[in-house]
Amino acid sequence: MPSLKDIRNRIKAVKSTQKITRAMKMVAAAKLRKAQIAAEGIRPYANRLQETIWEVSQLKDVTEHPLLEEREPHNVMVLILTSDRGLCGGFNSSIIRTTEKFVKDNSEKFPEIALSIIGRKGNDHFSKRDYTIEKVYQDILTKPSMDKARQIGNEMVALYLDSGLDALYVVYNEFKNAATQEVIVERLLPVIPEETPDTSEEGLEFVYEPSQEEVLDGVIPLYVSVEIYRAILESMASEMGARMTAMDSATKNAGDLIDRLTLQFNRARQAAITKELMEIVSGAEALKG
């Protein structure tokens, strides 16, 4: 049975841990609001780019543009977004499990699958296993920007146009709320034009300058970069939400443990006092005899 000193030291250690988890929760909550605004703010822009691609592509055969043309997927790239740090619950493990399942389920369909990784946690996991890692992007999450996303997007578009890449997928956590994140597997290349539900401009004819082809040449690479940037922002908001939830749970668990240890300490102290009283009474009785 642990001594009173052992229990007291453990209570002190748990209280110190609780202070850390409470502080981390507050920091994550402060960062979450900013990340959430950024993630939600870019969604309409990305959706409008998708609508523009749909509108322009319908004016001609979509297979005429190389970034819209579907071909036999031999070489496939999977862009994975994890975090640089841990202590965020199942945020990283869900991405890793989904990626491993995607690779396993499509191993016969896609002869060659390579990984490009954003986030140290993803690199730590996949670099120790039998996966082909094409590239690890550094310093993306410390200060995310559209310029960094555009560099990644331009690299992927260049690989696709040079026939070194047949399809690009991105795996990331989409932010729903502070307690909920959904793992998304999205194909970015070739781009899949999706019809917009907005029919307010139905029947209108647009004139595109300088030409439809040049409009697509500019809009599609921009769309790929924006989608990558959106995935980064969604992932960061999800990470902050997951960390805040995990630290809140850890803080509550630490409080419960402190209560149990305090009860154990009080019982042990009471037992020690009772034992000492019994020894005193026994000694007094012995003297009387």
Residue pLDDT, tens place only, 219-241 = 888 999 999 999 999 999 999 99
Return the higher-pLDDT residue of 95 and 47.
Answer: 95
Overall average pLDDT of the 102-120 stretch: 92
CA dihedral for 7, 13, 15, 18, sign (positive or negative): negative
Which among 1-10, 54-63, 202-211, 225-234 has the top mean pLDDT?
225-234
- Residue 262 CB partners (closer than 8 Å, separation 6+): 11
Q: What pLDDT does 62 receive?
A: 45
Q: What pLDDT does 199 receive?
A: 43
Q: What pLDDT does 289 receive?
A: 59
Amino acid identity at 117: I
Amino acid identity at 194: E
CB 189 within 8 A of CB 223: no
What's the pLDDT tens digit per position in 258-280?
999 999 989 888 888 888 888 78
Please say if 83 is a catalytic residue.
Answer: no
Name the one residue in this structure whose structure tokens are 């029947």. Answer: 203
Comparing 154-158, 192-196, 205-209, 281-285, the range with the smallest average pLDDT is 205-209
CB 242 within 8 A of CB 182: no
Which domains are delineated in the chain? 22-193+205-246 (3.40.1380.10)
Comparing 97-101, 123-127, 212-216, the range with the smallest average pLDDT is 212-216
- The secondary structure of 176-222 as a DSSP string is EETTEEEEEEEEEES------S--TTTT-----SS-HHHHHHHHHHH
Which of 7, 81, 88, 220 does the annotation list as catalytic? 88
Overall average pLDDT of the 109-128 stretch: 92
Q: What pLDDT does 55 receive?
A: 76
The H-or-E segment that residue 73 falls in is none
What's the pLDDT tens digit per position in 57-68?
766 544 467 888
Return the higher-pLDDT residue of 216 and 26.
Answer: 26
Contacts 24+ apart (CB under 8 A), 61-68: 62/193, 64/213, 65/213, 65/216, 65/220, 66/160, 66/161, 67/157, 67/160, 67/161, 67/189, 67/190, 67/191, 67/216, 67/220, 67/221, 67/224, 68/190, 68/191, 68/193, 68/216, 68/220
Overall average pLDDT of the 61-77 stretch: 77
- Tell me the two tokens of residue 228: 């990558």
Q: What pLDDT does 257 receive?
A: 94
pTM here?
0.84
**pLDDT tier, 207 (very low <50, low <70, confident <90, very high otherwise):** low
**Residue 189 confidence (pLDDT) above 70:** yes
Torsion of CA 8, 14, 20, 26, to 10 degrees: -120
